Structure 1
Amino acid sequence: MSGFTLKQLEYLVAAVQTGSLTGAASLCHISHAGISNGLNELERSLGTQLLVRRKAKGVVPTAAGRAMLPLARSILRDVAGIEGLGQSGQGELTGELTVGCTLALSPVLIPLIASAFAELHPNVDLVFREGNSRAVLQMVRDGQVDAGLVFQRHLSGDLEYLTVCPIRVKVALPPTHPLATRLSISLAELAAEPAITPDGSALESMLAVMREAGVEPNVQWTFASPETIRAMVARGFGYSLLYVFPEVSASGSSVVSVPVNDRISDDALVMALPARRRQIDKVDKLAEILRGDAVRKLIG
């Protein structure tokens, strides 16, 4: 068995995270020489080079280093979980919980999660990472997060998941729109109007929903930020399909959400999890919080 240590794995993760040995030394509260020696010993014990050190340009992982990284992160998280067993056995959760969340969901879910843990489990250190669905799912695969919050439509077969709650597609409209007071809308009624869409995998998902209803949207604007989309809709520049609807955008303008009555495939908010994951009590508590009434009122 290789004679590497947990500290050496911590140094590897820190070096890749910061992109330099200097940054890793600062993050791990150790000298530059200590980081360098620890990584050299790790490479010797494994018999392979994990990092390419470039003078004045930091470090980058080799292929072996990239393969090692999710394993190292998983080991460190498991050890942190073991260290917290004493306190968690008394009903108190401790340690770090890292959650990935899509940009479409993060403005609503992240504050809700942070508030719930602050009240119920204040000794858990929450870390949030945002990105589009592809990025969040890759974070799950790479072991950068303990759970990723995404839409079921975006899942791939290599990941396990827990369903949080079903999602009903809604149309975002300005309050002055003629259809804003309707109880439901057929997407065909909006076919000729300008559509404001997200980009990336979220755009693909929206197009799939529209086409499933027999509608080819008239896409006029595409933005990465859901908040920008809401603000543009609120100003009357078009409509959009969004799953999470704060009634007031950051610009101070309001939007109205109206359910879609077309027959389209079901979707859901899910927690994507690494394949063959170990049981993590903090992840279970996260699922419990997300399955509460507060999330259903915002998304369901």
Structure 2
Amino acid sequence: MHQDVPDLSAKHLRSIVALARFGSFIAAASYLGISQPGLSRIIQQAEGLLGVALFLRGTRSVTQTEAGRDFIPVAERLLGELAQQTRRMRALDGQMRGQLIIASLMSISHHVLPAALVEFRQQHPKMFIQVREGLGNAVLEDVRSGVADIGIGNATSVQQEIAVETVVEESFYVVLPAGHALAGRPSIALAALADVPLVSMPIESGLRRAIDVTANTHGVVLDHSLITNQYASLFGFVASGLGATIVPATVLPPADDPAFAIRPLTPAITRRIGIMRQADRPLPEPAEIFLTLFRPRFLQATRGMAR
């Protein structure tokens, strides 16, 4: 027996990796779906079991100690290997008829992903499916570590061990409440939104950063008056008349929704997104099957529309 091996669980490892990725207890707890005090207790337990501090807690952010920087890659590797071995054992044991794990940007999982999953589920009703929603870095790390079979996320600054396919560049659009004063324009200039309350994603979101960078470049100060991290809430707030929003094409509401007016944004804001997988590992068969259903919807959604 290895009595010097700490009694760390997968819960400890996932919490450590999430906190290292986000550098914030609030963001990491939200990603894991647990409370901030709960995450703090798990990290304290892990540090107690290891006998070292992994993180330095600041008033605004969390940084890794030297021991933390050494341990994080180990935790990521252990999680990836555990996920892969679990899938293999379950397949051999017949407990599952296969498994599909997808890491996805929240903007993709809002509309595009569900439509493809519905058809996939109809064709393969015994398949176990897990969708891991997150920000760009979290999606990339899930793929790199082997936790996810595929990822749909930002296609820029990707490491060599990640293969990216079906890369598309999608435009951002302005979504207004029906009847808004700006709805009569064929397109909307960013400067015209300076006096319009905006319903926006949090500042740590890649979408929000892209919007703010473009606004700063053109000397426009935007009024992000209402912040939410859920797209369903975001569009509900817009439909209620609480403000307008700026979102990429893949997030646009259905074309026949009378609650909204959607217009192109000028100057254009775009982002590059694609489908990611580990470069040195063949795709599992469930992932291959799913992508044949997902790719056409993905390409169609990124084209966007105005109405």
Q: Does 1:222 align with 2:236?
A: no
Structure 2 matches for 1:233-272, cutoff 5 A? Answer: 233-243=238-248, 244-247=251-254, 254-264=259-269, 266-272=270-276
Question: 1:100: Cα distance to partner?
Answer: 1.6
Q: Distance in 1 between matches of 2:110 and 2:282?
A: 29
Give ranges in structure 1 of 5+ residues lacking alignment.
1-11, 20-50, 55-61, 85-93
Question: 1:173: Cα distance to partner?
Answer: 0.8
Aligned residue for 2:183, secondary structure, equals: coil
Question: 1:284: Cα distance to partner?
Answer: 2.7
Residue number in structure 2 paired with 1:282: 286
Residues 156 and 217 (structure 1), Cα distance of their counterparts in 2 relative to 1, 3 Å cut: farther
Residues 195 and 270 (structure 1), Cα distance of their counterparts in 2 relative to 1, 3 Å cut: same
Residue number in structure 2 paired with 1:34: none
Question: 1:134: Cα distance to partner?
Answer: 2.8
Aligned residue for 1:276, secondary structure, equals: coil
Residues 52 and 233 (structure 1), Cα distance of their counterparts in 2 relative to 1, 3 Å cut: closer
Q: Distance in 1 between matches of 2:167 and 2:127?
A: 21
- What is the number of residues matched between the two proteins? 236
Question: 1:213: Cα distance to partner?
Answer: 5.2
Q: Distance in 1 between matches of 2:101 and 2:233?
A: 26
Residues 156 and 65 (structure 1), Cα distance of their counterparts in 2 relative to 1, 3 Å cut: closer
Residues 274 and 210 (structure 1), Cα distance of their counterparts in 2 relative to 1, 3 Å cut: farther
| Mean Cα deviation higher: 109-118 or 253-262 | 253-262
| Mean Cα deviation higher: 135-144 or 222-231 | 135-144
Give ranges in structure 2 of 5+ residues lacking alignment.
1-6, 14-45, 50-69
Identity %: 21
Question: 1:152: Cα distance to partner?
Answer: 3.4
**CA-atom RMSD, angstroms?**
3.6
Aligned residue for 2:128, secondary structure, equals: strand
Residue number in structure 2 paired with 1:134: 137
Q: Is the 8 A contact 1:164 1:291 kept in 2?
A: no
Structure 2 matches for 1:67-86, cutoff 5 A? Answer: 67-77=77-87
Q: Is the 8 A contact 2:105 2:134 kept in 1?
A: yes
Q: Is the 8 A contact 2:112 2:301 kept in 1?
A: no
Aligned residue for 2:143, secondary structure, equals: helix
Q: Is the 8 A contact 1:140 1:148 kept in 2?
A: yes
Q: Does 1:291 align with 2:295?
A: yes
Question: 1:224: Cα distance to partner?
Answer: 1.1
Residue number in structure 1 paired with 2:40: none
TM-score (norm: length of structure 2): 0.63
Question: 1:146: Cα distance to partner?
Answer: 1.0
Residue number in structure 2 paired with 1:38: none
Q: Is the 8 A contact 2:171 2:268 kept in 1?
A: no
Question: 1:180: Cα distance to partner?
Answer: 1.8
Q: Distance in 2 between matches of 1:53 and 1:68?
A: 19
Question: 1:230: Cα distance to partner?
Answer: 1.3
Structure 2 matches for 1:196-207, cutoff 5 A? Answer: 196-199=199-202, 200-202=204-206, 203-207=208-212
Residues 160 and 231 (structure 1), Cα distance of their counterparts in 2 relative to 1, 3 Å cut: same
Q: Distance in 1 between matches of 2:155 and 2:219?
A: 21
1:95-149 CA deviation, whole Å, 9 max, x = no partner? Answer: 1010122222222133212212023344432211222333222222332211122
TM-score (norm: length of structure 1): 0.65
Q: Is the 8 A contact 1:173 1:239 kept in 2?
A: yes
1:65-95 CA deviation, whole Å, 9 max, x = no partner? Answer: 55323133335546778x69xxxxxxxxx51
Residues 281 and 253 (structure 1), Cα distance of their counterparts in 2 relative to 1, 3 Å cut: same
Structure 2 matches for 1:71-150, cutoff 5 A? Answer: 71-77=81-87, 94-150=97-153
Residues 160 and 201 (structure 1), Cα distance of their counterparts in 2 relative to 1, 3 Å cut: farther
